[in-house]
Each structure stands twice: as structure tokens, then as C-alpha cells.
Chains A and B, each alone.
Chain A
Amino acid sequence: MTKRITNTIRTLRFHADEMTQAELGKRVGVTRQTIAAIEKGKYAPSLETAFKIADVFNVPLEAVFQWGKG
């Protein structure tokens, strides 16, 4: 099976009082649609945006994004 970038953004949003995609997007400087695309694994964000997302949830980068079997 090919490896790909997976993420836990949906879970992290749930644990952050069900933060909306729009709110997360606003805090990292991208649109709601871009957050939706990242969540679904359709778009791989830049390293800077990845770090910003981790920063919003106050977790290390590897808690948000993983390199593994999708």
C-alpha cells in the first residue's frame, strides 16, 4: 500500500470545542475550503501552514500530520 500524509485535524477540532473549519482557517490564514481539502487529504499544506495548524491546537507537528498508510 502506498504511503501518504494523513492528519488528525478533524479529531483535534472536535477536542477544541468543535472548532469550525472557518475558524481554524482564519487562525492560520487560509480559507475554509483549504482546511476542508487538507482534512480530506486532498491537499498537502506548506510546512509553514502545517506548523501554524499544530500551533493552534498547541500540539507538536507529528500529532497533526503523519506519514503512513492512508
Chain B
Amino acid sequence: MAFREKIAWLTLISLILVYGVYFAVLGPQIDFGAASLVEVLWRFGPVAVVHALIMIAGTIALTIASPSEAKAPRDERDQAIERRSFQVGYYVLLIGLVWVGLVMPFSEPVYKIFHAGLIVIVASEILRYGMIVLAYRRG
């Protein structure tokens, strides 16, 4: 398996696990009616930090395992895969944020807008890395 495919797997799995825990367990515990923005960020911050730490540790481990591949620049196929995946992720992000930013404020409470925004960002990233993994698997 290529180094960049391993990184894509790492990112995809860590996104699903970490933000899955947030949206399933931690997010619903926030008392949005009473909690201030600082309190909300206090809940969400550690999730983002854990994700960052997993990515840093995983990237270091994968780099140590195959240093020459890690040093090599992206070749044309890597770039083509990233370009196509980014395009799909971008459209999902754009459509999602238009909904969250321009439609939801007229009908939904703030906490739903906050979480919908996060879901759109995470979903677009999961889709992007899912597409990258799929493209590498196809050959």
C-alpha cells in the first residue's frame, strides 16, 4: 500500500471515530440553551485536539515505517486523485454551508446551526478521503 493511501486511511478512520464519538456522545450532552460559546468550545476543543494528535502520531509512525516514500513528492496520479476527490468534497461543503448559513438561520435554533455546520465540514472531509481511498484501491 502506498504511503499516501495509508495517510488517507488514517485520516478517514480517525475522522469517523473521533467525530463519531463527538456527534453520538459528547455533542448531545451540551446544554445549548444555557451553555456559552466558551463552554461549547471547551467540549469541542478536546475532540479537535485528539484528532490532531492521532494524525500527528500516525503520520510520524508511517513516515518512520517508509521514509523514502514519505519524502517522495506527489506524482501525477496522486495529484489527479487528490484533485478529483477535492472537487467532490468541495461541492458537498459548498451546498451544505449554503444550507447551514443561508437557510437554517430562518428556522432553526443556534445549537442546531452550530452542529449542522460541523457535520457538513466533517462529512465533506470524510467523503473526500473516502474518494481518495477508493481511487487508490481501484488501482
**Chain A residues near B (Cβ < 8 Å):** 29-31, 33-34, 36-37, 40, 42-43, 45-46, 49
| Most chain B beta-carbon neighbours within 10 Å: one of A31, A43, A46 | A31
Docked CA distance A33–B77 (Å): 9
Further pairs besides A30-B75, A31-B77, A45-B76: 13, Cβ < 8 Å: A30-B76, A31-B69, A31-B72, A33-B2, A33-B5, A34-B75, A36-B139, A37-B77, A42-B139, A43-B77, A43-B80, A45-B77, A46-B76
Q: How many residues of B contact A (CB 8 A)?
A: 12
Residue from A30, A31, A34, A42 in contact with B138 in the complex, judged by beta carbons closer than 8 Å: A42
Residue from A40, A42, A49 in contact with B76 in the complex, judged by beta carbons closer than 8 Å: A49
Q: Total number of A-B contacts with CB less than 8 angstroms?
A: 31
**B78 interface residue, CB < 8 Å from A?**
yes
